[in-house]
Structure 1
Amino acid sequence: VLYAMGQTQHTVGVQNIRAMSIVQLLLGNIGTAGGGINALRGEANVQGSTDQGLLFHILPGYNPTPSASVTDLKTYNEKFTPKTKDPKSANWWGNRPKYVASYLKAIYPGQKPEDSYKWLPKCEEGKDYSWLSLFDTMYNGGFKGFFAWGQNPAASTANANKVRAALAKLDWMVTVNIFDTETASFWKGPGMDPKKIKTEVFFLPCCVSIEKEGSISNSGRWMQWRYPGPKPLDNTKPDGDLIYELFEEIRKLYKADKKAVYPDPIMNLNWDFATNHAFDPHKVAKLINGYFLADKTIGDKTYKKGDPVPAFGLLQDDGSTCSGNWIYCGSYTDKNMAARRDKTQTPMQEKIGLFPGWTWAWPVNRRIIYNRASVDPQGKPYQPQKPVIEWQDGKWVGDVPDGPWPPMADEKAGKNPFIMTSEGFAQIYGPGRNDGPLPEYYEPLECPIPEHPFSKVLHNPTALTFQGPTETRAVCDPRFPFVCSTYRVTEHWQTGVMTRWTPWLLECEPQMFVEMSPELAKLRGINGGDKCIVE
């Protein structure tokens, strides 16, 4: 299943994805070649940014962000580490204490994980920190400052007038981008009086993606290293340099101010990310992978302090290892695995185009997760013409198996294939959900019908709603009898920050337009080329 943005950017986005997941599970299409669910992202690194903890509720590697009530590391591990008594269950999240301890040692190498945990930012109980809620808080005066880093919320976020009004209530805003944007110049927009706006706006010009080095991770979880092309224009810098230099100045201020409030998290943070005072993406990549902080013997092998950790199975909870993101452990060992460009495949791998030597995929270069669900109890592929893995001569061949154990026919050593659940099985009923097994269907918050034909509840009861004069919605209003939808065009990307400044693209698509059926156009007396007002 390939889905685009309309499936998720919706008040029932979670239900949509859950429904597709359940259908694929019931069809046996998880862990197979050409199976699963693949998001057609809005840009190339959505997967990578989520992996690295972009969202408020997760730390890098999909570990939960602690709430204020989880005051110490022991309590965190007890709350978020699942347990199982089933010997057939790998219960891989049972290793969470190792991954969290290694993450804490990556950001605070000089402290014990038990001590540095208290410096982690924590969410207030029951408080929502998602995108729309942030701007609602901003609109109500809850923020003094805002970094708009590589984004244009004045044009991209729902209820744009509310967003711009919220920006006007800040003391300061920093925008980091390659061109001026509606966000950077919100104070020039419709209904704005610059004389009455207190927000001080700072613009930091950054270079574009092809002018800097680093990696992206696509929807297939392939971490792909990109080398810099042309040099950045004068007075522009890569994002990494901007962040590095900004924090260096912040640390100087803290060091100079003997009365600085709560300096320890700032002064003790690992900030060894530069070479000759220039941001070094390789140093970041090596820390994300992780390395040993002390000599450590695991099994029959001894690793020296400073050695890269070759795989997340070797991460420890005693402070002897660090890793900025456990799922990327193995991505930068003796070499930069994401920079590989080897097209070599075995005849078996060629059948599905696996290309295991081309870049690197998390976890441990596994190209198809839950791939042990693609074989029978003896380890033979259900689809011999498109095999992902196969048990041959006492070992797995093909893709990196989702766990090293033998097939399920081995009563003593075999494990259930869904290793990230505590039971080892797929979950048709979503944990913590009130509807199920298949999600309930709800109409959008703005819809043309007054009643749900299959339910007493019209809208998603968990959808975010806000109060106040900015929150009017057209629901079953006879003045708005038509349903419109938005979509992307070939000529422009996202809010057009790059493409609208490109003359030939702007010439191809110079302005907004409305498409409608000939019947609707005739009904409203609209001809091709007429100017329309969409209210």
Structure 2
Amino acid sequence: IDDGVDHSWLTIFEKMYEKKIKGFFSWGQNPACSGANANKTRESMKNLDWMVTVNLFDNETSSFWRGPGVNPKEIKTEVFLLPCAASFEKEGSITNSGRWMQWRYKAVSPPGEAMSDADIINILLNRLKKFYAKEKSVFPDPILKLRWEYGPKDSKGNIKHIDIPMVAKEINGYFVEDKIIKGKIYSKGMLVPNFTLLQDDGSTSSGCWIYSGSYTEEGNMAARRGKDDPSGIGLYPDWSWTWPLNRRIIYNRASVDKNGKPWAPHKPVIEWENNVWKGDVADGGLPPMASGKPSCYPFITQVDGVGHIFGPGLVDGPFPEHYEPLESPLDENLLSKQLVNPIVKRFDIVKGNEKINARASHDPRFPIICTTYRLIEHWQTGVMTRWQPWLVEMEPSLCVEIGGDLAEQKGIKQGDKVIVKSARGDLEAIAMVTVRWRPFRILDRLVHQVGLPYHYGWATTAERKYGKIDKKPEFFTYGDSVNILTPNIGDANTMVPESKCFMVDIVKKV
């Protein structure tokens, strides 16, 4: 990507909508359902020359060209659906939100021609190399000279199958040449013990520095399964591996005083004892501050080593501030004069289709707050779970959860078919009247809220058109993606979509 070009999630589809992107790879994703403002996302795909989707099942993205209201004859996009292996049909690691990198082994082979993502990429690269070698390209070196040493080669010099542990080793890092560091010799090809030994002179290489230490000369740390927990607080230091440096709790020096003694002695994370740190891997493993030796404050990535209330570097200011969502029932901020974040990333300020870019704040047409959430029985957009009959039997339909008072006002009863409307689109759902959903009291009025799960899509419904070779689910689902309703708004710093709060109305279907 060229410098200054933003290809983060929301922007990709905006550029696609503007016809500035010609091709798109969708790896294990279903953006036609998962992306905010789904109608616009689906519309943007019509502007592509080609799209490759890699998934287990057909889905709303791979079949966008034959979705509701779409005439396939008018779609120019050439779509390739490549069957891939599921997680238990391939080897590799998975890292959870606690930073634990855990190794998973292949249990069974994938069916038919399905293969792992890595092997699909490998085939594509082999063909690209062949193409670039023949054609007169402006600068073919990044393709032709790409380091790609991930397994045994065939007679033509192409990798036959990707060796996943070799990929993990390269991510960890290795020595490109012989190197002496603090009197110790590291030979060319040796795996780097951890990121503290990565060099800035080109003598080492690492695919991702925070994972340096995950696969060393001692073996695959992510594959460890030690069950001992000396800490007694759930650290399990020999079960898998945690970035960085197998440190289970980051900033753990904040848990001790200047003498290295735990603030909570009954559950110590680390403790300075006999001139060494005991417990977790100490963050910045220098002695405690009272030792008289060079030390450090707990927050080692900050210049001054301390936690900050003042956060320089944020584009919308250094202090926390409350803003209303771009779609809100309020027309004023009760805490300041600024209603919404002034530099939130907006995609509705464009010319063209007003409906697809619309938003509604403090709009009497849409007086109800709406949010989205997950169900236990389904996963993400339901590409995998909507094909499992036992899961669909438990949660077959898109439901809108609505409080009793609002249901009574709207003349809606349990099980009624309703239409949920936002500024961007309408969505059919089944009413689920519950006591969970109660109104907000904002100043002198009540504002009701409703909620919908986001696992559904038209591709597994009975209403869609199935071709002769299309697989039909054993049990059909009901309802399309809730993201038909959501706005595409990006956080000012991270571009995280603001699609958890928006305004709607709900009416009983006639």
Q: Is TM (by shorter chain) over 0.5?
A: yes
Q: Which aligned pairs between 1:317-356 and structure 2 lie closer than 5 A?
A: 317-333=200-216, 334-346=218-230, 349-350=231-232, 352-356=233-237
- Aligned to 1:232, which of 101, 106, 110? 110
1:418 to partner: Cα distance:
1.2
Instruction: Assess if the C-alpha contact under 8 Å between 1:175 and 1:184 holds in 2.
Output: yes
Shift of 1:410: 2.8
Local SS of the residue matching 1:485: strand
Q: Hey, which of these two has a bigger chunk of helix by percent?
A: 1
Q: 1:432 aligns with which of 313, 324, 333?
A: 313
Residue 109 of structure 1: aligned partner: none
Aligned 8 A contact 1:429 1:436 in 2: no
The residue identity in structure 2 corresponding to 1:289 is N
The number of aligned residues is 409
| Match of residue 366 from structure 1 | 247
Alignment of 1:275-314 (within 5 A): 275=152, 277-314=160-197
The SS at the match of 1:529 is coil
For residues 88-167 of structure 1, the aligned pairs below 5 Å read 121-124=1-4, 127-167=5-45
Q: Check whether the contact 1:215–1:226 (CA below 8 A) recurs between aligned residues.
A: yes
**Given the superposition, is the C-alpha separation of residues 306 and 166 from structure 1 closer, same or farther in structure 2, using an over 3 Å criterion?**
same
Partner of 1:185: 63
Match among 190, 194, 201 for residue 79 of structure 2: 201
The reply to whether residue 357 of structure 1 matches residue 243 of structure 2 is no
Residues 204, 195 of structure 1: alpha-carbon distance in 2 compared, 3 angstrom cutoff = same
Query: Contact 1:345 / 1:356 at 8 angstroms: preserved in 2?
Result: yes
Q: Is the 8 A contact 1:214 1:227 kept in 2?
A: yes
Question: Which position in structure 1 is the counterpart of 2:411?
Answer: 525
Which residue identity is paired with 2:221?
M
Asked if 1:269 is matched to 2:269, the reply is no
Deviation for aligned residue 1:313: 1.2
Aligned to 2:289, the other structure's residue is in SS state coil
Measured in 2, the distance between the counterparts of 1:392 and 1:456 equals: 53
Matching residue of 2:128: 250
**The 10-residue stretch of structure 1 (418-427 or 384-393) with the greater mean CA deviation from structure 2:** 418-427
User: In structure 2, which of residues 382, 394, 399 is the aligned counterpart of residue 513 of structure 1?
Assistant: 399
Structure 2, unpaired ranges of 5+: 154-159, 422-510
Secondary structure of 2:399's match? coil
Q: Could you tell me how far apart the structure 2 residues matched to 1:401 and 1:275 are?
A: 40
Are positions 1:400 and 2:284 aligned together?
A: no
- Say yes or no: does 1:414 pair with 2:295: yes
Rounded to whole Å, the distance in 2 between the matches of 1:372 and 1:275 is 45
Name the counterpart of 1:40. none
1:170 partner amino acid: L
* Superposed displacement of residue 141, structure 1: 0.6
Aligned to 2:109, the other structure's residue is in SS state coil
- Note the alpha carbon deviations across 1:72-130, whole angstroms, 9 max, x for none: xxxxxxxxxxxxxxxxxxxxxxxxxxxxxxxxxxxxxxxxxxxxxxxxx4422xx4332
- In the alignment, the residues of structure 2 paired with residue 254 and residue 433 of structure 1 have an alpha-carbon distance, to the nearest angstrom, of 42
**Aligned residue identity for 2:201:** D
| Cα separation, 1, equivalents of 2:8 and 2:178 | 42
SS of the residue corresponding to residue 346 of structure 2 reads coil
Matched letter for residue 344 of structure 2 = A
Question: Which of structure 1's runs of 4+ aligned residues deviate more than 3 A?
Answer: 433-438
Distance 1:217 1:186 in 2: 31
- Which residue in 1 is equivalent to 2:387? 501
Cα shift at 1:314: 1.1
For the Cα contact (< 8 Å) 2:177–2:189, is it kept in 1?
A: yes
CA deviation profile, 1:37-62 (whole Å, cap 9, x unmatched): xxxxxxxxxxxxxxxxxxxxxxxxxx
Aligned to 1:450: 331
Specify the code of the residue in structure 2 equivalent to 1:390: E
**Equivalent position amino acid for 1:322 in 2:** S
- Aligned identity (percent) is 57
Matched-pair contact (CA < 8 Å) for 2:178–2:186? yes
Cα deviation, 1:405-434, whole Å, max 9, x if unaligned, reads 111113341122211112212122111237
Q: 1:310 to 1:183 in 2, by over 3 A?
A: same
Mark the CA change 1:256 to 1:190 in structure 2 (over 3 Å): closer, same or farther: same
Match of 2:263 among 382, 389, 393: 382
State the Cα distance separating 1:229 from its structure 2 match.
1.0
Q: Which amino acid aligns with 1:331?
A: S
Report SS of the residue matched to 1:516. Answer: strand
Post-superposition CA distance 1:354-386 (Å, at most 9, x none)? 111101111111111111111111111111111
Shift of 1:344: 2.4
Q: 2: distance between equivalents of 1:275 and 1:166?
A: 41
- For normalisation by structure 1, the TM-score amounts to 0.74
Distance in 1 between residues matched to 2:270 and 2:335, nearest whole Å = 43
C-alpha deviation, 1:515, in angstroms = 1.6
Distance across 1 between alignment mates of 2:315 and 2:113? 54
* Contact preservation (8 Å) 1:296, 1:303: yes
**Letter of the structure 2 residue corresponding to residue 273 of structure 1:** Y
Q: Which structure dedicates a bigger proportion of its chain to strand? A: 2
Distance 1:197 1:188 in 2: 9
Contact 2:311/2:319 (8 A) holds in 1: no
> How many angstroms does 1:300 deviate by?
2.5
SS at match of 1:278: coil
Q: What are the within-5 Å matches in structure 2 for residues 471-490 of structure 1?
A: 471-490=357-376
Distance of aligned partners of 1:200 and 1:490 in 2 relative to their CA distance in 1, 3 Å threshold: same
Quick one: distance in 2 between partners of 1:340 and 1:504?
A: 34
Query: 1:487-511: per-residue Cα shift (whole Å, max 9, x none)?
Result: 1112111110000000111111111
Letter of the 1:492 partner, please give it.
Answer: H
State the Cα distance separating 1:436 from its structure 2 match: 6.3
Q: Which residue of 1 aligns with 2:92?
A: 214
In structure 2, give the amino acid aligned to 1:453.
L
Structure 1: runs of 5+ lacking an equivalent: 1-120
CA-based RMSD of the aligned residues comes to 1.4
Query: 2:152·2:161 contact (CA, 8 Å) conserved in 1?
Result: yes
- Matched residue SS, 2:296: coil
